[in-house]
């Protein structure tokens, strides 16, 4: 009688164990499901152990991190999600350096402009236009606008006096 009871308990436990195993998807299946969903978020990988999904990798913004977590959580059979995704904003790419005119064409350009500005001299060296002399503020503005249009490296007016 006692043995029967014990064996019944064992059988019952076995059944419970069996069913519970059957009801729980295997980690490998979960892993496949989660991985498939995560294809939508590049740069994120998942690891599944005992129904717990651990997300890792790197994304460019917070929204991608939370959406990956949401996708994993909504996968059937996932108990919980550990989100170890790192948010790293993309490196700020510096704009290309400005195009600077070579000295010879720059000199020709400067000569064509400066000839109409009496009392002002200009030299060109290494892309820098050096202006000297004396000029009214409005005439200097006109000159500066024209010189900047030649795409120099710099317009150095330290030698210029504004009347």
Partner 1 sequence: MALQEKYKELIDAAKSAGTKNLQVSELDGVLHITGEAPSGTVKDNLWNIYGKIDPNFLTGDVVMNINVATAVEGARLKVITESSNLNIRKGPGTDQPIVGKAAHNETVTLISKQSDQWWLIRTDSGEEGYSHSQYLKPVE
Q: Residues in the site for partner 1, rule: CB under 8 A?
A: 94-98, 100, 108-109, 111-113, 115-116, 137, 139-142, 144-146, 148-158, 160, 162
Q: Are 57 and 43 in contact (CB under 8 A)?
A: yes
Beta strands in the chain (DSSP E): 44-49, 52-59, 80-83, 86-87, 120-125, 128-135, 154-162
Least distance in angstroms from the C-beta of 97 to partner 1: 5
Rounded CA separation 129/124 (Å): 5
Least distance in angstroms from the C-beta of 87 to partner 1: 23
Least distance in angstroms from the C-beta of 106 to partner 1: 11
Give the nearer residue to partner 1 in terms of CB position, either 1 or 92.
92
Least distance in angstroms from the C-beta of 120 to partner 1: 13
Q: Are 67 and 81 in contact (CB under 8 A)?
A: no
Give the nearer residue to partner 1 in terms of CB position, either 79 or 154.
154
Give the nearer residue to partner 1 in terms of CB position, either 1 or 137.
137
Give the nearer residue to partner 1 in terms of CB position, either 42 or 149.
149
Bridge partners, residue 135, by sequence: 162
Give the nearer residue to partner 1 in terms of CB position, either 72 or 140.
140
- DSSP notation for 85-107: -EE-PPP-PPPPPPP---HHHHH
Least distance in angstroms from the C-beta of 61 to partner 1: 22
How many residues comprise the chain? Answer: 163
First vs last C-alpha separation in the chain: 120
């Amino acid at each position: 009688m006692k043995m029967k009871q014990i064996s019944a308990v064992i059988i019952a436990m076995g059944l419970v164990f069996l069913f519970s195993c059957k009801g729980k998807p295997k980690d490998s299946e979960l892993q496949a499901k989660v991985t498939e969903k995560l294809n939508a978020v590049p740069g994120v990988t998942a690891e599944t152990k005992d129904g717990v999904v651990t997300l890792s990798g790197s994304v460019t913004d917070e929204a991608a991190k939370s959406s990956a977590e949401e996708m994993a959580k909504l996968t059937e059979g996932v108990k919980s999600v550990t989100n170890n995704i790192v948010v790293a904003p993309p490196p700020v790419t510096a704009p290309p350096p400005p195009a600077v005119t070579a000295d010879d064409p720059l000199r020709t350009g400067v000569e064509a402009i400066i000839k109409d500005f009496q009392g002002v001299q200009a030299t060109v060296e290494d892309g820098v236009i050096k202006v000297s002399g004396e000029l009214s503020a409005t005439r200097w503005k006109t000159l500066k606008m024209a010189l900047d249009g030649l795409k120099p490296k710099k317009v150095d007016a330290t030698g210029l006096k504004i009347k």
